[in-house]
Amino acid sequence: MDDGPREIRLRGRLVNGLYTEAMLLADEARAYFDHQGREDREALDPVARVTLSCESLKITTRLMHVLAWLLTERAIELGQMEGGEAAASARRLGEAAPTDAASIEGLPAPAIALIDASQDIYARVRRLEIEVPESGSGVSPALSLLDRLERAF
């Protein structure tokens, strides 16, 4: 039986998992663009080089917006920041330019994989921001207690 009330912090778990994933992706992007990406860039025509440079900036922008938002959410979860303070527009997930699939067709496969991964994590964080309620919001404690009583009997 249950020893006492336990609040499952789904949002906190999602934020922590996404933060780890975003940090790994940022490190992977840095490693690629510092090493193999330079070699890949040299093999491209001038227009594709510019496209690769623009896409590397888009990847970085997406990941920095994601990481900043996730750090804000972690600060709220730890009680270091009030939810109202985090609701300010400056604390929301920043806008990131989408990538046109046709413009990246000739880019190296590792670069395309990073572009896709950065767009994917950005979209998931955007959905989290919109769809999953913040900790402490939603159902009132009284309704939660009534729900537990109904399940017990």
Q: Is the pLDDT of residue 137 over 70?
A: no
At residue 77, the pLDDT reads: 82
Q: What percent of the chain has pLDDT over 90?
A: 59
At residue 78, the pLDDT reads: 83
DSSP string, 57-124: HHHHHHHHHHHHHHHHHHHHHTTSS-HHHHTSGGGSPPP-PPPPGGGGTTS-HHHHHHHHHHHHHHHH
More confident call, 146 vs 143: 146
Domain borders along the chain are 10-152
At residue 4, the pLDDT reads: 43
Q: What's the pLDDT band for 145 if we cut at 50, 70, 90?
A: low
The length of the chain is 153
At residue 149, the pLDDT reads: 76
At residue 7, the pLDDT reads: 45
Contact, 67 vs 23, CB < 8 A?
yes
pTM of structure: 0.78
Q: Is the pLDDT of residue 113 over 80?
A: yes
DSSP H or E segment with residue 17: helix 10-34
How far is Cα 118 from Cα 126, in angstroms, rounded to an integer?
Answer: 12
What CATH number should be reported for the domain whose range is 10-152?
Answer: 1.10.8.930
Those residues whose C-beta lies under 8 Å from the C-beta of residue 114, and which sit 6 or more positions away, are 25, 28, 29, 32, 59
Residue-wise pLDDT for 11-45, tens only, equals 788 899 999 999 999 999 999 999 999 999 999 99
How far is Cα 78 from Cα 132, in angstroms, rounded to an integer?
Answer: 18
More confident call, 141 vs 112: 112
Q: What's the pLDDT band for 1 if we cut at 50, 70, 90?
A: very low
